[in-house]
Amino acid sequence: MTRALSTRRARAARRRLGRRPTRAIALVSVSLIDIVFLLLIYFLVTGHFQRAEEVFPLLAQSAPAAEDPLVLAEDPLTVRVLSGSRGFVLGGEMAPAESAAALEARLHEMILGGSRGVLAPTHPVLIMPDEDAWWDDVVQGYNALLQSGLRNISFGRGA
Amino acid sequence: MARRRDWPETSVDITGLVDLAFLMVVFFILVGRITAQDLAPLRVPEPARPMTEPPGRDARLVVNVLPASPTATASWQVAGDTLPAEAASEPRLEKLVEAALEQNPQVELTVRADRRARWEEVRPVLSASLGAASARGLPQARMRLVARRAWESP
C-alpha cells in the first residue's frame, strides 16, 4: 500500500517536471565471455611451442664464371652420399665413412695442416647424393664439410 | 514474520581479465595463420654441432618438401600451392620461383625439406632456384637450407 502510494507520487512528480521515466540499459556479456575463455583454452591446449629453425646459407652459381685462361681449373673433391644412411664416400676412396663425424675426421686430415693436408679451404667440393639418399644424410654431410673448413661446396645432380 | 538478512552487494570487475583473454585469442588466431602459411608440419634435419645461422629477416620464398608416405605422394608446398614432386611439376615450380625473383631480386629460396625426403625430391627445388636465377640474368642463386639445432646437454 505504502509502496504503491510512493510510486504514484513519484510518477506525479515526474509528470510535473515533464520528464519521461528512464530505464537502465545493460548488456549481458556472460555468454560472450564464456566463449572467449573456451577459445582461449582451446588455443592453449592445441598450440605447441617449437624450437626455432636455423639455416645453412648456400650460394650457387647459376652461370659459369668467366674463366681465367692462365688458371687451371681444379678437379672438385666429390663426396657421395649413400642411400639408406650407409655413409659417405670421399673422392676415390673405397671404404665409406660411416657417419658424418667419420667424414669430418677424414676431411680434417686432408685439409692443409692435417696429416695428409693437400686441400685448401677454397678447394671445390661437389656433393653427389644417391637419388634415394635421405635429405637428413645430405645435410649431415654438408655440415661435416663446413665443419672441416671447406667453403666452396656445391651440389651435383646425383649418383 | 522473519526478517531477511541483507547481504552487502559485492561485485568483481573482470573487465581487464576479459580484455586480456580477447587479446590472447586474437594473438593465437593471427600467429596460427602466419605460421601455417610457411611452416608445413615436417621434421627438418638436426645435425650435430650445425654451422647454421639464424634465418634473419631477409625476403624469402619457402619451399616445403613433404616426403612420400603410405597415404600420399611426395609434394612441394610453395606460395600457397601444393605441387606433386615429379618432373611434370618442375616448370611450374621454376615459374613460381621466377615470379618471386621478379618481384624482389634479393629474395632467398628457403628449402625446408623433411629429413626423410629423398634427394630426388629435393634436387629439383635447388635446380628450380638455379634455373629461375639464370632466367632472370642473376649470376648466383641465393638459397638457405633449413635445419634445427639439436638439444645439447649443458
Averaged pLDDT for residues B110-128 = 93
For every residue of B124-151, which 3-state class applies, written as one string?
Answer: HHHHHHHHHHHHCCCCEEEEEEEEECCC
In tens, the pLDDT along B16-57 reads: 888 888 888 888 888 776 665 567 788 899 998 899 988 877
Cell numbers at residue A24, please?
537502465
**pLDDT number for residue B74:** 92
Contact yes or no for B148 and A54 at CB 8 A = yes
Contact yes or no for B18 and A36 at CB 8 A = yes
Instruction: Give the distance from residue A38's alpha carbon to the nearest chain B alpha carbon, in angstroms.
Output: 10
**pLDDT number for residue B105:** 86
- Within 8 A of B50 by CB-CB distance, chain A residues are 54, 56, 143
**Closest residue in chain B to residue A82, using alpha carbons only:** B119
In tens, the pLDDT along A106-123 reads: 888 888 666 667 788 888
- Within 8 A of B42 by CB-CB distance, chain A residues are none
Say how far residue B96 (Cα) sits from the centre of its chain.
17
**Closest residue in chain A to residue B124, using alpha carbons only:** A157
Contact yes or no for A59 and B143 at CB 8 A = yes
Do B121 and B65 contact (CB within 8 A), yes or no?
yes
* DSSP per-residue letters across A132-144: T-BHHHHHHHHHH
Confidence of residue B154 (pLDDT cuts 50, 70, 90): very low
Alpha-carbon separation of residue A48 from A43, B31, B113, B130 (angstroms): 9, 12, 21, 36
Chain B touched by A151 (CB under 8 Å)? no
Contact yes or no for B138 and A62 at CB 8 A = yes
Which helix (H) or strand (E) element contains residue A53? strand A53-61
Contact yes or no for B65 and A135 at CB 8 A = yes
3-state secondary structure of A121: coil
**pLDDT number for residue A74:** 74
Do A55 and B52 contact (CB within 8 A), yes or no?
yes
In tens, the pLDDT along A64-99 reads: 555 555 555 678 889 999 999 899 998 878 788 999
Q: How far apart are the first and last CA of chain A?
A: 103
